[in-house]
Every structure is written in structure tokens, then in C-alpha cells.
Amino acid sequence: MTGTILERVKEMTRQALEREAEKLLDLSAVKTRISDAAGNGFTHITVAPEKAVDVSQTVAAKATAEALRAEGFGVEWEKRQHPDGRTSQALVVRWTL
């Protein structure tokens, strides 16, 4: 094996966060949620991980956020506090009439 245990653990964490972001922030799925929300009269959606993890810095999250911005949506990350004291970041997507 190469690398230290710390390097391996960091890489495992990065990979786990990427997998979570790929599932949670799939662009097609987010667009479906946007359409569903709009159809019910809403002007924003919030996409938050179930687990207290921060996927906001992943490749998948950045790509989805950038694609939505390019289409004119407002995109921001909102800090969420979990009951156990840990925090995560939720993607908030907004549009105006």
C-alpha cells in the first residue's frame, strides 16, 4: 500500500462525498424537482443531504450549481444544523417571476 493512513482516509472521504453529491445533485433530478416545485407555485427548492455531510465542494455539486446559474437560476449554499451538532450544506435554487 502506498500513502499514509491519513492520505487514504482523506481520499475515502472525498470519494464518499462525490458519490453522495452525484446521487443528490444529479442535474436532471434537480431540474425535475424545480419543475415540480414551480408547478405547485413555489419559487425555490432546497436540496439537502440526509446525512450531516458537506457536498458543496465536490465536483458534482460545483457542476450542477454552475449549470443552473448558466440557465439563470439563483444558487446558494445554506448551512444546516443537525440534532447531533454536526452541520451540512443544502443547495437552495431560486427563480423569480
Calculate Rg over the CA atoms of the chain: 15
The H or E element containing residue 13 is: helix 5-24
Average pLDDT on 20-49 reads 97
Q: Give the start-to-end residue ranges of the domains of the chain.
A: 5-94
CA dihedral 82, 33, 60, 96 (to 10 degrees): -90
pLDDT higher than threshold 60 for residue 1: no
Mean pLDDT of the chain: 95
Residue type, 7: E
pLDDT band at 54 (very low <50, low <70, confident <90, very high): very high
b/e sequence 40-72, b meaning 16+ C-beta within 10 Å: eeeeebebebeeebbbbebebbeebbeebeeee
Threshold 0.95, pTM exceeds:
no
